[in-house]
Structures are given as C-alpha cells and as structure tokens.
Chain A
Amino acid sequence: MIRWLAVVGLCAVGCIWWIAAGAEEPAPRRPHFTDIAPKSNFTYKTDNNFTGRKYFPQTMCGGIAAFDFDNDGHMDLFFTNGAKLPEMQKTDPRFYNCLLRNRGDGTFEDVTAHAGLLGKDLGFSFGVAAGDYDNDGYEDLFVCNAGRNTLYHNNGDGTFTDVTGGSGLENKPKDVISVAAAWFDYDNDGKLDLIVSNYTAWTPETDKICAVNGQTFYCHPKVYASVAHRLYHNLGGGHFQDVTDSSGFGKELGKGMGIAIADFNRDGYMDVFIANDTVRNFLFINQKNGTFKESAYEWGVAYDDTGNAGSSMGADAKDYDNDGWPDIFYNNLKGQIWGLFRNIDGKYMNYVSGLSHISRLSARMSGWSNGFIDYNNDGWKDLYSSNGEIDDLGESSRQPDTMFENVDGKQFRDVSSLLGPDFVRPGFQRGSAFADLNNDGFLDLVVTSLDQKPRILMNSADNGNHWLLVNTIGRRSNRDGIGAELKLTTGSGRTLYNHVTTSVGFMSSSDKRVHFGLGAEKDIASLEIRWPSGIVQTIKKPKADRILTVTEPAR
C-alpha cells in the first residue's frame, strides 16, 4: 500500500557540516588504519565463485574470527570461504578456509593445513563463532555452512578436530543455510550454549533466477522462505541438545543475519537480538527458566520507526552512551536507514537513528558486518560498518567502509575519510572483526571483501589516549567469561560499561577481551565485574594501559 514508506533515509549534510565545524574546534587527534596484510604470505582470498550466474549464497562470503588459538597472547585470524557452484564443494584450494597465526611481529603465518581447518569436506561456509565450549582453556570454532555445520575442537597443540558428529550439532533441517552463530551461556550453568541464525532452505537446484528487463540480480530475499533459528544447549562432554522448540526460538521464522548477545534488562541472564533480512528483527528475552520470549515488538526493535523491516545485516549490542544499558545497532542497505536503538532503563528501546545523525550518515551505504568500537580510545564507542552493494551494477557498487565517530554519546560524525586510504578502499566488503592484534590497547580491524584478500587494518594508536584491556577467565562461569558485565570508573568518576562477547557484526567473531578507552585519563578508580554466575568482583585502582587478566573468584 505505501511502498514509499520504505524510502526512508536521511540527509548527508552531516559529514560536511561536521568537518566544517571541526575547523572551529581544536582538531582531535585521530588514529588511522594501515593494511598490513601484504606483509604476510598467505593465499586466502574471499572466493564466492561468481562466474556470471548469480547464486543466492554468493552475496554472503568471508566470515572472520579473531581469537588466540594457541594462547600465546596474540590474536590469530580465521577466515571462512565459499565453494564451487553449483557443486557446493570446496573443490579447489582457493575455496579453503584459512587460519593465520599471529607471529606478534606484524606478520601472519598460514597454518590452516597443519591445524586441520581447510574444510575440504565442507560446502559453502558463512559465519564463524569462537568460544571455549568445553572450558579447557583453548578457544574452539563453530563454522556455519550451507551444508552441515561444523564444530572444531581446539586440541591445544595447534590442531583442531572436527567433533561435529555425535555432538548434537550435526543435524539441522534439510537444506537450511546457517549464516552466523554466537556462543553464550543462557542458563548460567558455566557452559557455553550456541545460537545459530539461519536464513532459508536452499540448494543450487532450488536457486531462483531473478531479472528485470534482462538484467539479472540477486533475488529479493522474500522469494525464499523464512526459517527458525536454532538454539543448542551445551550438556557438557561435547554434547549439545537442540532446544529450539522448547526454548521458544522455534516459534519465530526469520532470515537471520547478525546476532548480538547482551543482557538487555540486566536481570543476570543473556538475551539475544537477531537481525533479519527483510523480515522484522527478533529480540529474545531470557525468561530465566530455559525459555525465551520474542519481544521485539514490546521493545520497539522489530521494525524501524515507520514499521519497515529493512535488510538488516550485521548487529551489535553495546552501551554507546555509557548509561549502563546495552543498546542495539544494525546496518542495512542503501536507501534504508541503519538502526540505532537506545535502551531506556531496560524496559524498551527508542529509535534514535535520526537524533544521532545515523540516518543522515548511512543512507548511501550498504552495510554488512558492523559493530560498536572505541577506535580512538576516547571512552565513547564509535560505529564501524563494512560496506558494499549486493550486486555489481557499476563502479559505485563498490563502497568504502565507514566509521561514525561518537560525539559525547549523543551524536555521530563521519570520520571515514580521515582514517587513511586503506580504510576507505572501495570493495564489496562483507565480514569484519575487531581485535587488538599487537596488544597496544587500540583496536584493529580485519575486513573481508569479495574476490579480494582480506585487509588487516592496524590502528596507528597515536593519539595518546589511555586504555585498559580485560581478559576474563571464568571459574564458576564459562571459562571465557562471556556474558560478564564490566563497569569501569575512572579517577574523575566517569563510568564506562562493556560486556564480554565474541559475537559482533555479521558472520564474524571478535576479540573476546573487553576493551575500554579512557581518553586522557590514566587513573582508574575501580573495575567491577558481574560474572554470569552472579558473583560481583571489584578491583580497586587497576593500572591503565595494560592487559589485565581477571580470574573469577570462587565466590
């Protein structure tokens, strides 16, 4: 009836205005990013096997995990890859997944084959989630595929074993495409459970060809059926139980993309936000009894503020205004508006894309992976997005990444063009992960782009701001500490909030260590950690500018 409702987007004056305004203020020193991938010898390129025929899954390729697989203190990188189509097999090394070991000197070593992570027997791979599901101190991997999904157990000796068979994760509804996954402990039993976002049921045989006036394009998602996302309960001993139906997840059918994990009402139990492509978004609120209630309408995050379900892609949930409540950010496609929702005291969320200038800044971009990232360590979480259109219909289809800088927790300004040429390299960007790859306290970026080698964007870390990186080790809680809430109070009394999660953006998994930028302040009054177990731990006056490992107390 009112298709014009879909045409919401907003003014791009923001960038110019802010730059002009900046001339009247002391120019903030901003870090920039430099791609160091060319320094390393690896062959991985994100390969969706596009040869002219447009197959539906090709748009989603190049998941990333930033995780320390060998516990040497340096974040390593894992990339997923596509497959030969229509065979849906990794028939050639160019389709293999890839594990790069961080040597700690600015270079990476391809150790995929030794690690057993080539994925030769997998089909088209999408997202990846890193998490220590068996609490053995080594990060494991879950890889989402068009075929069977895969759980890789980290053996602790540099190798992984595919332990999917018999784990309970090997079965999923026929032909379902799993796009992304997130580890979290929904029942606080100390073991990481798994939520998997599924997109549709698809095979090369059922792939549709879509065209207008002879111009083929990737089909509108609505020509494919929605499916349920799946929740797996970790039973321990490497076994999982599919609790999709009993938990309430099975009631809602969507086209899942990014997953954001947070305790939105701060009742001590983790909730789940799932961005759906052209279907309304889901917010599953944990009922603390093994079930969830889908509450996106109640919270006002099902649609944007005009009832539109855009092409929601990546998702993240963090507290961008430092009020103690995690907010939601998702991106979507050109002509739509990226969604920024502000959490109002854990009761509902207000759509603040307009007020925050996100609408003005985002309308021209087609975003995929995304996330809150305090890239300049000023204590305000900024918004990053990897961008690029779905179809290659001209030079403008390639897009640069964007960084919208948080101004005092109220508004955002586009500083993308100030972050260096490597940051704004146009492309069909897809996955992204945040990690402090050189442990200098400034978050770096890793981005995949279709038919390209990934960019490993090192933060120049040169604005003098201070920081703290917290590595949580759970004891009663899951060993990663995923779900732990951290409140940092600076010497001046400023409070900053964050929580442990690896699920950030789309198809990707970020550094699990919790990052705080402190701005010019070097003194920290306290760090309070509320563990998933319920234990509250306070550390007085921790030193800034270091990586602080915190182990959960016994009680």
Chain B
Amino acid sequence: MKRTVSSACAILLNILFPLLCAQQPASNPEAILQHAITLHQSGDLEGAIKAYQEYLAQRPDSIQARSNLGAALARAGRYEEAIGEYNRALAQSPDNPALLLNLGLAYYKTGRPAEAAARFERAASLAPQFKDQVTLLLASCYNSLGRYKDAIALLAPIEKDKSGDPGFDYLYGTALIGDGQGAAGGVVIDRILSRGESAEARLLRATLKMSAHDYDGAIADVEKAIALNSKLPGAHARLGELFFARGEIDRARAAFGEELTIDPDDFTSNLNLGVLAKQDQDYPAARRYLATALKTRPNDAGVRYQMAALDLASGNPDQARQALEALIAESPDFGEAHATLATVYYRLGRTADGDRERALADKLIAARDAAVTGATPR
C-alpha cells in the first residue's frame, strides 16, 4: 500500500510545484521564492525549506509558498511540521482541494488514517478530478480504520475497471475479508495469484485462514509473504497476531516489534504491544503503545477501554472511572466497559452505581453470548 501512496505523492508534487524557475536576486522577496522553488526542484530540500521560510517571513500570507514549504517538509520526512504548514495555509484557504489532499497525505504518512480520510473525502468532494487519485488512498484509510464496508462501497463500483491492478486487488481483498466476506475475498486472492506468486495475496490468504482459526496454515502463508517481501506492511503484525493466538507470546512480541520498524504507527502492533506491556505491568510502555494506537484510530473504543483498564491497574480508579464513563456514553453496548466500571465504582465505594453497572454488564454479555453458534470454536 505504501507504493500506492508514493505514486500519489509524486503526482501531488507535480501539481503543487510552480514551474517558474528563473534565478532572481536573493534580496527581492519574489526572487527568494523563485530561489526556493529552484532548490526544491533540484532536490536541495533543506535549502528550499530555509528559503521558503525566509520568504514567508516577509510574505506570511502567501498560500503558495506555505503550501510549497509543506511539500518540501513532507518530502524531507518532516511530516509533523508539514502538517502545521498545511493547516496554516488552509486557515487562509479552507476549501483548497490541493492543500487538503496534501494534508491528507501527510496525515496518512504519519499513520493517522482518520485525519487523512477526512481530508481526502473533503478534497474529493471539492474537486471531482481528484477522485481517482483519492479513491485508493481513502480505501486504504478505511481498511486501517476497520471501516471495511466503507472501503467496499468505494471499491466495488470500480472493480470492473481496476481489477488486475495489484494495489486495487489488495485493498479490495483486504476489505472483503475484513468484512467477513471470505468467499468473495478468496476470489480476489485467486485473481492475484493467477498473475503469479504475490506477497500481498499470501497475506490476504493468511488473514482468511486466521478467521477460520487455521493458525498453522495462516502462519505458513504469512511467512511466505514475508519471504517474498520482507517489508510488506502488515505482514509482521499479522504474524504477531497468529503467534499470539497460539500462545507463543515471545514470538508474537518480536513480530510486532518487527512491524514497527517498518511502520512505527501500525495499529495492530501498537495495540498488542500495549496489551503485552500492560500484562507485564510495565505501565509507561503500555501507555506509550496504546497512545500510538489511539493516534492511528482516534476514539477506537477498544484502545480507550485498554487505557481505562490501565488506569485501574495502575491504581488510578477515579481516572479509570472518568474514561469509562466517557466511553460508555459513546458505546453504551460495550459490555466489558460496564463490567470494569462496576468494579471501579465498588472500589470507589459507590455501591449503587456498581450494582447498576454490574447488572448492565451481565445483561449485555449474556446477550452477546447467546449469539455463539456451533460453528464457533473456543
């Protein structure tokens, strides 16, 4: 998926860079801007950033210069600073689709798919010509956010045209499998494999097998995927989940750690490493991992619940109470949250509140248990 993003970045740089490049005296603000652009295009990013900043010191309202500064910062890997510049530019021009697109990309690169998706959606609505460029990025964001139905809604209409595009097939297969449409996902996997061995297809097939609790088969597929592409995003995280399910925690921890060397913001790895650190009662580390996971999926109920449980475990029941009350206000059917809140209330001496939450937890969990069928392995 990172390949898809890289190509989109290249397109956007072309969109945003003015092609004027005549050398000008450095004392003239316009000459400074031109000099910055020249440096930018020549690949001297640090020089360009300095020149843009010099120009903006004299012309702070220049949207173009600020946008270019953001692009140079992003290209230099300084995404947080780029986000700041894009947001400053957008404050002056809130409906600028190119700015929104670039900001979305910067968010995407920093592992914040929720923020990225919001900008991509807005850019596409403002400038339909961006829709094609945005579709795959947006689908990738939706997959990262677990919004598989939204990804499918985006991708299904273009399947006929895009089928065969490796990026499309991978995203679509991921969405289908994530949505529990294993059979349709399997068709996409077969389509990818018909073109030859593919790391992406192996990873998708592993996901499919994992959902059927075939952990051994899934691990074999992920390991094959990693052999084909050791940097395949998500592969090590999936391997970690599979080791986790088999109780091989040491190997799971190593796999999650490996994923973070590829993508430090990977949601799954940060979440699981956070849970592992919490289990080890290494609370600072747990909080750090979970905060990163929360950055990727803001408001994720599961991560917020883990944070609250962390508060309780580390001896802060009142902090846990506040977090759980807020979580339950937004996710009233979250049985585990009610259960933990009951214990928190009892711990705080609020017996009546504890009794109420206990009754709710028992009811919600019993209702969920009733949905378990004979096709549910332990």
* Contact between A363 and B249, CB atoms less than 8 A apart: yes
Look across to chain B and name the residue whose beta carbon is closest to the beta carbon of A361: B249
Closest B-chain residue to A224, C-beta based? B372
**Is the CB–CB distance between B245 and A220 below 8 Å?**
no
CB-contacts of A181-223 with B (<8 A): 208-213, 217-223
Determine which of B212, B245, B302, B313 lies in contact with A351 in the assembled complex, contact meaning CB atoms within 8 Å: B313
Whether A212 lies near B213 (C-beta < 8 A) is yes
Whether A208 pairs with B336 at a CB distance below 8 angstroms is no
Closest Cβ neighbor of A353 among chain B residues: B279
Pick from A303, A307, A355, A360: contact of B249, CB under 8 Å: A360
Residue in A7, A211, A352 whose beta carbon sits within 8 Å of that of B244 in the complex: A7
Q: Known contacts A9-B247, A222-B369; is A354 also within 8 Å of B302 by CB?
A: no
Segment at the interface with B among A67-75, A92-100, A329-337, A370-378: A329-337
Q: Which of A10-18, A42-50, A127-135 contacts B (4 or more CB under 8 A)?
A: A10-18
CB distance from B1 to the nearest CB of A (A): 21
A12 touches B275 (CB 8 A): no
Residues of chain B contacted by A360 (CB below 8 angstroms): 249, 280
The B interface, classified by DSSP as helix, strand, loop or mixed, is: helix
Please give, as numbers and ranges, the residues of chain A lying within 8 Å of B347 by CB-CB distance.
300, 348
Instruction: Check if A12 sits within 8 Å of B336, measured CB to CB.
Output: no
Inter-chain contacts of A209 with B (CB < 8 A)? 374
For window 343-363 of A, CB contacts with B under 8 Å fall at 348, 351-355, 359-360, 363
Q: A297-B346, A308-B336 in contact; A211/B309 too (CB < 8 A)?
A: no
State whether B309 touches A305 (Cβ < 8 A): yes
Neighbouring A residues of B301 by C-beta, 8 Å = 1-2
Q: Which residues of A contact B241 (CB under 8 A)?
A: 7
Within 8 A of A (CB), among B145-183: none
- Number of residues from A at the complex interface, CB < 8 A: 54
Please tell me which one of the listed residues B279, B305, B342 contacts residue A10 in the complex, with CB atoms under 8 A apart. Answer: B279
Inter-chain CA distance A267–B302, complex, in Å, is 39
- B249 near A9 with CB under 8 A, answer yes
CA distance A305 to B302 in the complex (A): 14
Residues of A within 8 A of B276 (CB): 10-11
B343 proximal to A (CB < 8 A): yes
User: What residues on B are CB-neighbors of A355 within 8 Å?
Assistant: 280-281
Assess whether B207 is interfacial by the CB under 8 Å rule.
no
Contact of A307 among B213, B331, B339, B362 (CB under 8 A): B339
**A222 CA to B335 CA in the complex, in Å?**
16
Q: Which of A303, A333, A354 contacts B378 (CB 8 A)?
A: A333
Please state if B305 and A307 are interface contacts (CB–CB under 8 Å). Answer: yes
B258: min CB distance to chain A, Å = 15
Residues of A within 8 A of B213 (CB): 212
Closest residue on chain B to residue A333 by CB atoms: B378
B247 engages A219 (CB within 8 Å): no
Asked if A504 CB lies within 8 Å of chain B CBs, one says no
Question: In the complex, which of the residues A223, A302, A359 contacts B339, with contact meaning CB atoms closer than 8 Å?
Answer: A302
State which residues 259-277 of B face A: CB under 8 Å: 271-272, 275-276
Picked from A218, A279, A334, the residue with its CB within 8 Å of the CB of B247 is A334
Which residue from A13, A303, A352 sits with its C-beta under 8 Å from B336? A303
Q: 9 interchain pairs (CB within 8 A)?
A: A12-B250, A212-B212, A222-B370, A223-B373, A303-B339, A355-B280, A359-B249, A359-B280, A390-B378
Across the A-B interface, give the 3 residue pairs with the lowest CB-CB distance, nearest first.
A307-B336, A222-B372, A364-B247
* Residues of A participating in the B interface, judged by any CB pair closer than 8 Å: 1-2, 4-5, 7-13, 208-213, 217-223, 278-280, 297-298, 300, 302-303, 305-309, 311, 333-335, 337, 348, 351-355, 359-360, 363-365, 390
